[in-house]
Structure 1
Amino acid sequence: MLKQNSIYRIYLSLLLSAVLCGQGTTAPKQLNIVIVEGDGSINNVRQRVAREPIVQVEDENHKPVAGALVTFLLPSNGPGASFANGASTLTSVTGPDGRAIARGLRANNNKGQYQMRVTASMNGVTTSASLTMTNAAVAAALSTTAIWAIVLVAAAGAAAGVALGVTSGNGSGTNQPGSSPVTVTPGTPSVTPPR
């Protein structure tokens, strides 16, 4: 079914190109690929998450080109990723804004930097570009349990410090005249998120 979708997109691209040419619109003489998003991104191998690259195909006048065929190619070994179907290539067709998105990108377990090759073509005109991505083992955020453990240890330390201050007083174990004793009452700690 995925292969049928790719064939359908290619057919749609060719049909759109034919319609545009038939309406007096001239085919682009040159194509340019602008990396909109994804170049230099860091993908988390622990979560197998990767940022989906977005490219824009433009003509020689820097206007978006709709209906261009865009192919995203990943390395076959080492650091890299794969698309939703496990393939190392994905073919897409640019929309009216000239953009194509490499959807379903998933980082592999190999850490390091790699290049994704992007090729755009329309009416026999072809261009290519590449973008750099890095797979890294990004530390996960602290869990709620870890945050509670830190809060409870800090609260216990504070309570111990107050208790030491109460028992030590002036060094003789008695309070000075006119000063009232410090009382610590246990209760339920509350934690609110940072503001």
Structure 2
Amino acid sequence: MMRTVAAVAVAVLLAAAVAAEASELKVGYYDKSCRGVENVVKWHVARAIKANRKSGAALVRLIFHDCFVRGCDASVLLDPTPENPNTEKTAPINIGLAAFDLLDDIKSAVEDRCPGVVSCADILIFAARDAASLLSNGHVHFDALAGRLDGVHSHAAEAQQDLPDSTFTIAELIQRSRSW
């Protein structure tokens, strides 16, 4: 389990690093605009994992599925609408994704603290980072770059096309992440 979490964390870290090169992402992005936001996220993640360890694995899987499609923009969180009934969330390859309710709870707590400041994309990155760290007993840890904008486009077809097959090796995942 720890090796799988570590491998996924490496892939996510590579994805986040690639995205950071093209933008103004930085560690401590919310230090002035929403002090303590990362602690709020970590508290909720720790509470969820204590209640059910599967919550942590679900967060790690969710960030993986988000970052492989359009980058780490939380587009996987977008619900279907009459205008767009086939979002990433509905793609067959995303069947079984979970932790959406947990992320809604975290977003609500963050909004209570700092309305309209922290993106869902950054909350998802923080939550997945904290889940990987907690599940690995602190062996997996990385500073999360923040400052992402939330995606507004989400298409099931892109998820089907962009997500790697479940049989990919770590080397293949890393290679695929570099193609972004």
- Using the size of structure 1 for normalisation, the TM-score is 0.26
- Using the size of structure 2 for normalisation, the TM-score is 0.27
Structure number with greater Rg is 1
Higher strand residue share: 1
User: More relative contact order in 1 or in 2 (CA 8 Å, sep 6+)?
Assistant: 2
